[in-house]
Amino acid sequence: LTLAARGAESAGAALPETETLDEGHELRRLPLGLPERTPMAFLLASKAIEEAATLALRAYAGPDSIVHLRYLDDASRAVAVAARRLNLRIALTLTPDPHRGVCGPDGRIALRGIEETRELYNRILIGDELLHWSRGLVGIGRNAFIDTLPEFFPQLENARGLARAGMDEGVDTGEFPPLEDPGRLLCDPALALPLDPSRLGEPAIICVGRLNALKG
């Protein structure tokens, strides 16, 4: 079960309350009129998110369910509070953001405005809190719990009883056996977005993340 919000931006699109994403996987949109997806909007709506998540989890999550949280923000914290209220276990994807953004490349604390500073440190505190509440942790990168996360979360040095898994992301650049007919594979009409065979000879841009300097 994936929970999402029905924000104000989707009100005119008549999105369904539930949607089947795959066999055995359902998306449920919570009745939350969030005006925007910003840290302040999540903070102001945290109680409403908590109540909506509580109702959804109570109705659809069994006693052995695990509630997975992806981001360190007030929306995730609200869902975590709902999960704790129902005695459900929590798993968290832990990243060094926003912690590593406190300092600039020179190692000095970066100067920020009052609001940006409040949001940054609020997320850092939420990260520590969610880590304390979690039974399972996912790190981005197979060596995340060795190379990157302990620097920002010293509590991991003595994190007994926690299930931990580091998972790679991005494109695996290992050697693969050559394909006999890559064009046929890319133009397979069974694909969600097959290529037009007439365009196989044209240049292509491959993007595996958002087009942003932060993503390289």
Helix (H, G, I), strand (E, B) or coil at 187: coil
pLDDT tens digits for the chain (216 residues)? 999 887 655 555 667 889 999 999 999 999 887 878 788 889 999 999 999 999 999 999 998 999 999 999 999 999 999 999 999 999 999 998 889 889 888 889 999 999 999 999 999 999 999 999 999 999 998 899 999 999 999 999 887 788 999 988 766 667 776 778 888 888 999 988 899 999 998 988 877 777 877 666
Is-cis flag, bond preceding 98, omega within 30?
A: yes
Q: What is the pLDDT of residue 9?
A: 55
The DSSP bridge pattern shows strands 18-22 and 25-30 to be antiparallel
The DSSP bridge pattern shows strands 18-22 and 136-140 to be unpaired
- In the chain, how many H helices and how many E strands? 7, 7
Q: What is the pLDDT of residue 139?
A: 94
Residue type for 52, please? A
What is the model's pTM? 0.79
> ∠ CA 27-32-36 to the nearest 5 degrees?
100
Q: What is the pLDDT of residue 39?
A: 84
CA 143 centroid distance within chain:
19
76: which residues sit within 8 A by CB, 6+ positions away? 69, 70, 126, 130
Q: What are phi and psi of 22, to 5 degrees?
A: -165, 175
